[in-house]
């Protein structure tokens, strides 16, 4: 039997986050954009059209939102690592890629940080 890769993608999740090291960033939340790719095991592949048989993508969205809302993060790297590690704690996840972007930090570019083990 041929191996199949199963992935969940959460693209362009826009949240307001308390993140940054500078005083204006500590006082005001700023928009971040999150992209997540999750490689799943085949153990939770549904046999029927039933949500209880698979990994519901809303759990990963909620997990991410809860982490972002949980505290002030000084570094984008730490926030990204916390989301990445939490997703990978799911027993049906082989690995993931998490990219978090601060689109409005500069006038001429976006900045982002990414972690991946897939």
pLDDT of residue 29: 97
Q: Token digits for 32?
A: 């971040």
Average pLDDT over the chain, rounded to an integer: 94
Range of the domain at 18: 6-116
pLDDT tens-digit profile of 23-77?
999 999 999 999 999 999 988 777 888 777 788 999 999 999 999 999 999 999 9
Q: Residues 76-92: what's their mean pLDDT?
A: 97
Please state the pTM of the whole predicted model.
0.93
Q: Residues 69-96: what's their mean pLDDT?
A: 97
> How confident is residue 100, by pLDDT bands cut at 50, 70 and 90?
very high
**pLDDT tops 90 at residue 97:** yes
Backbone angles phi, psi at 98, to 5 degrees: -125, 125
Asked, for residue 1, whether it belongs to a domain, the answer is: no
Provide the CATH number for the domain around residue 106. 3.30.1130.10
**pLDDT tops 90 at residue 3:** no
Asked, for residue 47, whether it belongs to a domain, the answer is: yes
pLDDT of residue 53: 75
pLDDT of residue 18: 98
Tell me how many domains the chain contains. 1
Per-residue buried b or exposed e for 15-37, using 16+ beta carbons within 10 Å of the residue's own CB:
bebbbbeeeebeeebbebbbbbb
Q: Token digits for 76?
A: 């984008």
Rg (CA), the chain: 16
Asked, for residue 69, whether it belongs to a domain, the answer is: yes
């Amino acid at each position: 039997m041929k191996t199949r890769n199963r992935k969940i993608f959460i693209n362009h999740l826009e949240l307001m986050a308390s993140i940054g090291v500078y005083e204006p960033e500590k006082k005001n939340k700023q928009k971040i954009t999150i992209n997540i790719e999750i490689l799943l095991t085949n153990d939770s592949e549904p046999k029927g059209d039933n949500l209880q048989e698979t990994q519901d993508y809303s759990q990963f969205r909620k997990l991410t939102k809860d982490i972002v809302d949980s505290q002030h993060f000084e570094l984008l790297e730490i926030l990204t690592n916390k989301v990445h590690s939490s997703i990978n704690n799911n027993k049906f996840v082989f690995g993931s890629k998490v990219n978090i972007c601060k689109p409005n930090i500069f006038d001429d570019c976006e900045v982002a940080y990414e972690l991946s083990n897939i």
